[in-house]
């Protein structure tokens, strides 16, 4: 399994970057951008090209991080998915064999005579049937023990694989939050600049509280199972 893609930590923005975003807002504010619309008492801010550009870059970065996550977990996801049918089959088989053993444990030895046993005393026939019954019971007990051992090994391996996928997912989600936070800071600096020259800075400030940056659906994933499912659905 490869290591997660490296994403820079959220660090203080360079002064040139802050000034560039603030200046863009200052320029747009002079011409009444961003536009604020009113629906009764509710104000809505219409994102400008600068804001959309900042968001688009973050979406692209987050999408790139997702593709890296999918590639990074490919082998583990295949191993987990391949083992799952075997795990279910083992559990079903264990249930079947346990039921059969339970039935045999409650069964008394048969007393029926078979071909060539007509000359044997009754006690001998009963012992034969009892031996045969116990042999079947031992076979089922052995089968249960072997299946349980295999299931433990399989499930333990699956847990390790699932844990690795979970670690990779958590790292990717953390990286995505950093990328999104960087875009949020850019937009915040832009709006600060716009409020300095906008004809209605209070409306801009009020409406901006309801702004929501577009986020890809995978950011809502919470577990390795979620990732496995969504990748299978996407066919990637």
pLDDT tens readout for residues 177-215? 999 999 999 999 999 999 999 999 999 999 998 888 888
End-to-end CA distance of the chain: 17
Q: Which two tokens stand for residue 16?
A: 């040139």
pLDDT digits (tens, 9 = 90+) for 130-163: 888 889 999 999 999 999 999 999 999 999 999 9
Check residue 222 and give left, alpha or beta (phi > 0: left; psi -120 to 50: alpha).
alpha
Say what the pTM is. 0.76
The answer to whether the CB of 219 falls within 8 A of the CB of 52 is no
Where do the structural domains in the chain lie, given as residue ranges?
15-234
Per residue in 36-56, pLDDT (tens digit) is 998 888 899 999 999 999 999
Of 211, 183, 189, 205, which is closest to residue 23 (Cα–Cα)?
189
Residue 73: phi and psi, rounded to 5, are: -100, 5
pLDDT digits (tens, 9 = 90+) for 223-232: 999 999 888 8
Structure tokens at 182: 């960087």
Q: What is the mean pLDDT of residues 86-107?
A: 92
* pLDDT(4) > 50: no
Cβ-based neighbour number of residue 202 at 10 Å: 11
Contacts of residue 85, defined as CB under 8 A and 6 or more positions apart, other chains included, come to none
């Amino acid at each position: 399994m490869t290591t997660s893609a490296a994403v820079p930590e959220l660090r203080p923005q360079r002064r040139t970057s802050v000034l560039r975003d603030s200046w863009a807002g200052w320029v747009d504010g002079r011409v009444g951008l961003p536009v604020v619309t009113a629906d009764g008492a509710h104000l809505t801010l219409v994102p400008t090209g600068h804001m959309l550009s900042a968001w688009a870059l973050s979406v692209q970065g987050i999408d790139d991080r997702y593709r890296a996550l999918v590639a990074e977990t490919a082998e583990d996801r295949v191993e987990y998915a391949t083992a799952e049918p075997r795990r279910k089959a083992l559990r079903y088989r264990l249930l079947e064999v346990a039921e059969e053993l339970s039935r045999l444990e409650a069964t008394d030895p048969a007393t029926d005579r078979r071909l060539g046993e007509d000359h044997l005393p009754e006690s001998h026939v009963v012992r034969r049937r009892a031996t045969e019954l116990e042999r079947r019971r031992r076979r089922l007990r052995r089968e249960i023990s072997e299946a349980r051992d295999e299931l433990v090994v399989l499930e333990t391996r699956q847990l390790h694989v699932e844990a690795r996928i979970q670690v990779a997912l958590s790292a990717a989600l953390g990286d995505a939050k950093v990328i999104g936070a960087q875009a949020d800071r850019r937009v915040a600096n832009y709006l600060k600049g716009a409020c300095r020259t906008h004809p209605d800075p209070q409306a801009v400030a009020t409406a901006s509280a309801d702004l929501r940056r577009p986020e890809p659906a995978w950011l809502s994933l919470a577990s390795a199972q979620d990732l496995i499912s969504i990748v299978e659905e996407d066919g990637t």
